[in-house]
Structure 1
């Protein structure tokens, strides 16, 4: 979604991507804001951008920051009430719709639960993803590597299955003597998260 500088901006920044996805879900649920951008490449820092009126952005950012802190490291939060027009060029560099040839359909009804596990190192994440899909009736719908070693897997299914899968993924990593950075189950994801889930997509990786 292109940002033209006409509304306030709300930003939440975290270390790695799973906390920022959790933040995005709570931000979209907390107030009347729209997801405009996600920056998650080239560094361990990930940032979600929303737009709306000033009060909505403030409520949204507070909700997102609180959620992120519960499962990971919050590195910053901010509301820009009246950003200069030139800021839009920076925001649009990370446009949530960039690189998407077809418009992402945002579901009207309830969506399946999401389960995510994040760690440092691909080999540990692969073991976790394998364990997650063997432990419960879930679908591996995505994989994310933010290039500095933090990697995450996303599965989809009913709430109980996602909880079982995430627990299995966490155990698999810990059984290897390694550390889980973050993990979460989002029972009823906001429909707007579909645009982020698309970034995770394993299409093209899995036949």
Structure 2
């Protein structure tokens, strides 16, 4: 593979156009149904330019998924700017996660195909980026523990669990007919994650989950 974004682009505008049209095309017809010639035509470049910048169709697909990942990450980081407290930072990031995919449904389609088509067999660059994101959020959880907002925990497992909640909420929303928006569902999901669902235990009453 040629790496996360393919070969260095001689023209950043062409590079951007190819990525944008690749996201559009993969979202519409899937990886297997996508034709590189169609992507090239939509981007206003020659088919050879696509191959020169990205190597082959699979490399182009992984470049688009990395682009989606980076855009999502930037969106969540922006949402956390200026927010105090670990819980509120996490809440803001999770709501931003839902809002990003709600505003960019084509990005969500590519995000889903990543798992469906390749069953998580992502390039090393993607795995490293995911690890960087996990480490960043683990530090937020650690700060929450240090400040007394959260109970002591394995912060990495907490981040991975929260990621599972978000991904599950996102995919469920894709295939379910419900009245709530994805942003609303994401906010509710993170609220449940942070607060839990157990009612306060009344004095003298023992619950089965204690």
TM-score by length of 1: 0.25
Query: Is the radius of gyration larger for structure 1 or structure 2?
Result: 2
Please, what TM-score do these two structures have when normalized by structure 2?
Answer: 0.25
Greater per-residue helix proportion? 2
Higher RCO, Cα 8 Å, sep 6+: 1
